[in-house]
Amino acid sequence: MNLAVLASGHGSNLQAIIDACENGLIPARIRVVISDKKSAYALQRAKDHNIPSVFVSPKDYPSRETFDAKLAEVLKEYQTDLVVCAGYMRIIGEPMLTEFKGRIMNIHPSLLPSFPGTGGIKDAYDNGVRVTGVTVHFVDAGMDTGPIILQEAARIEDGETLDSLEEKIHKIEHKIFTEAIKLFVEGKLSIEGRKVTIRR
Ligand code: GRF
C-alpha cells in the first residue's frame, strides 16, 4: 500500500511513520512527502530517507480549491492509497475530500471533540483539565471533526509544565498514529457515519 504524508513542520510524526515502515511495523511504503512550507524540516527528513519530497506553494494558487486540486494531482501521480496528515496545518477541502473519501487521516493533540484547532495542547493546559490526550481521526470538511479511529489519554499532574505535557503528548502521538495507520493498511478499519469499527 502507498502512503503519502502531508506535513507543514518539524515532522516528528513523519519520522515515527518512516521508522515504522522501515522496520516493518507498518506493511506499506511512503511514496511521497508533501509540504505547503518550503522550510519544513519534514521535507529534509524525507530526503534523508530517499523519499520523494514535494513543496506545493499555496501562493501559486488563487484559491483553496485550486491548491487542493494540485495536491490531489500529485497524490494520484504517486498512486496514493492513504493520505496521512502529520502536522499539516491547513484545512482540507474539495476536490481532496471526494477523491480520497475515507482515506485521509489526521493526528490531533487533544481528546477531541475537546480543544480542536491549532492550539490543542496549550488550550487544554490553560483550561486546567486533569486529562487530555491524542486523537487520530479520518478527515472530513470540518476542523478536527471527522470520525475518530484511536484516542489515548494523558494525565496533567500537579506541577506539570507545558513543556512536560508537550513531551508526553508527542510520545503518545508517535505510538497511536503508527498503530492507526497499521490498522488501515491491514484493512481493519471501517467507517459508518461517525463511527469507526476496528476488526482486531
Ligand atoms: C503534532 O502535535 C500534531 O498533533 C499537530 O502538529 C504537531 C506536529 O508535530 N497537528 P510534528 O511536525 O509531527 O513534529
CA of 169 to the centre of ligand 1 (A): 10
Segment 111-121 mean pLDDT: 97
Reported as a single tens digit per residue, the pLDDT across 121-163 is 999 999 999 999 999 999 999 999 999 999 999 999 999 999 9
Atom of ligand 1 nearest to the CA of 134: 4
Q: What is the DSSP string of 102-164?
A: T-EEEEESS-TTSS-STTHHHHHHHTT-SEEEEEEEE--SSSS-SPEEEEEEEE--TT--HHH
Atom of ligand 1 nearest to the CA of 169: 2
Q: How confident is the model at residue 84 (pLDDT cuts 50, 70, 90)?
A: very high
Q: Is the dihedral of CA 176, 181, 182, 187 positive or negative?
A: positive
Is the CB of residue 97 less than 8 Å from the CB of residue 104?
yes
Segment 48-75 mean pLDDT: 98
pLDDT at 188: 98
Ligand 1 is surrounded, with C-beta below 6 A, by 7, 9-14, 86-87, 107-109, 173
Amino acid present at 97: L
pLDDT at 200: 85
Segment 167-187 mean pLDDT: 98
Q: Which residues are catalytic?
A: 108
Atom of ligand 1 nearest to the CA of 118: 10
Reported as a single tens digit per residue, the pLDDT across 94-111 is 999 999 999 999 999 999
CA of 163 to the centre of ligand 1 (A): 14
Q: Whose CA is nearest to atom 1 of ligand 1?
A: 87
Regarding pTM above 0.85, the answer is yes
> What CA–CA distance (Å, rounded) separates 179 from 174?
9
Mean pLDDT, the chain, as a whole number?
98
Segment 18-25 mean pLDDT: 98
Residue 115 falls in which region: left (phi positive, over 0), alpha (psi -120 to 50) or beta: left
Q: Whose CA is nearest to atom 8 of ligand 1?
A: 87
**Is residue 10's pLDDT more than 90?**
yes
